[in-house]
Amino acid sequence: MSPHLLSVDSLNRDSVNHLLRVAAQMEPIAQRRQVTRVLEGAVLGNLFFEASTRTRVSFHTAFCRLGGSVCDTTGFTFSSMAKGESLYDTSRVMSGYCDAIVMRHPDQGSVAEFAAATHVPVINGGDGPGEHPSQALLDIYTIDKEFQRLGKSFGGAHILLTGDLKYGRTVHSLIKLLSLYDPLRITLVSPPGLEMPTALIDLVTSRGHQVEVRDHLATDFSDLDVVYTTRIQKERFTEEMNENFQGISDDFIVNKVFLDQRCSESTIVMHPLPRDSRPGANDLNVDLNGDPRLAIFRQTDNGIAMRMAIFATLLHVDSLIEKDLRSVRWFVPSQTGTLDR
Ligand code: NCD
């Protein structure tokens, strides 16, 4: 594996399988039953120049659960970039302070530019509409776990990617990662103007996968294994798109009616989150909350184990985990609240 994780392009089936195996080893730690100190003394720089809850906090938590500590900055306002500092200078400075860096930035390619100026591992936490490799890895980890639970396998699986496929960086990374697997059926459905970039469709097709583009969700999906839906990334729209965008029509909504009438009992529903719950946004519907097919919170939980696996692999402590486990002495009461998993 390359010293950084900037794009899923640096991964192959072997490195993905390795990360899946290490993530599975991390489960007892992620589930707070065991602890490890393999990253004791290491410091993570967590630099987020775009809005984030899950990615920022789960990278932070994952590093802490490996025994390391974290320093972070959020937004441009409180960083020296607000004073005109370049990515190069920020990178050189941060590498003197930290042992690994996670960065999210609104410009495509910016995280790679940042990584070119440092000698510590850099993970792309999302670069504009570009890529989000750790999300794609946790998505693959989730699909793999869900398929194992349901007695299914990747080969020949039917996966639907829907929502904003043009600006959604999670689906850009995910479709490339899926293309490393045995031939799949991938269906793409997006509102007009938000289609998956042609170059990505061509790449996946050239690797032997069957890609079908449909105009709406109102068709038969009874053989569907996964529906992966995404938020409309309005913050990345051009002015013209903002003026012309009509909103999401009923034809694109993933809700209980869609799942009950078009899909099957074993279709799982994923979303990188956040889902836009404001009235009229028509993102993934809350009427699926409590439905066992809704895998979104299992997916977010899986993010901790996968991000721990990424850090452990990039910092070369992945082989030490097994020997460095202790049981926790504390516990979180599991009977509080209404957690559906
Ligand atoms: C996504 C992102 O930031 O790309 N969120 C995430 O990291 N889980 C998706 C989104 O913002 O819609």
Over residues 171-188, the pLDDT tens digits come to 999 999 999 999 999 999
What's the CA-to-centroid distance between 254 and ligand 1, angstroms? 18
In the prediction, which pLDDT does 76 show?
82
Any ligand 1 atom below 6 A from CB of 236? no
In the prediction, which pLDDT does 226 show?
98
Residues with Cβ within 8 Å of 124's Cβ and at least 6 positions away in sequence, in order, are 4, 5, 6, 7, 103, 104, 111, 112, 130, 131, 132, 133, 134
What's the CA-to-centroid distance between 55 and ligand 1, angstroms? 8
In the prediction, which pLDDT does 340 show?
62
Residue 336 has pLDDT above 70, yes or no: no
pLDDT tens sequence across 225-244? 999 999 999 999 999 998 88
- Pocket perturbation via mutation, ligand 1, pick of 236, 273, 277, 296 by most ligand atoms within 8 A of CB: 273
Any ligand 1 atom below 6 A from CB of 56? no
pLDDT tens sequence across 99-125? 999 999 999 999 999 999 999 999 999
CB 36 within 8 A of CB 325: yes
Mean pLDDT of 325-334: 84
Higher local confidence (pLDDT), 248 or 39: 39
Any ligand 1 atom below 6 A from CB of 284? no
In the prediction, which pLDDT does 107 show?
96
Residue 335 has pLDDT above 80, yes or no: no
Per the prediction, the chain carries an average pLDDT of 94
Neighbours of 206 (CB within 10 A): 9
DSSP annotation of 44: E
In the prediction, which pLDDT does 337 show?
60
Domains (range + CATH), the chain: 8-130+300-327 (3.40.50.1370), 134-297 (3.40.50.1370)
Taking phi over 0 as left and psi of -120 to 50 as alpha, with beta for the rest, 195 belongs to: beta
pTM value is: 0.96
Q: What are phi and psi of 202, to 5 degrees?
A: -60, -40
What's the CA-to-centroid distance between 170 and ligand 1, angstroms? 7
CB 163 within 8 A of CB 229: yes
Q: Coil, helix or strand for 246?
A: coil
Higher local confidence (pLDDT), 279 or 37: 37
In the prediction, which pLDDT does 178 show?
98
In the prediction, which pLDDT does 81 show?
82
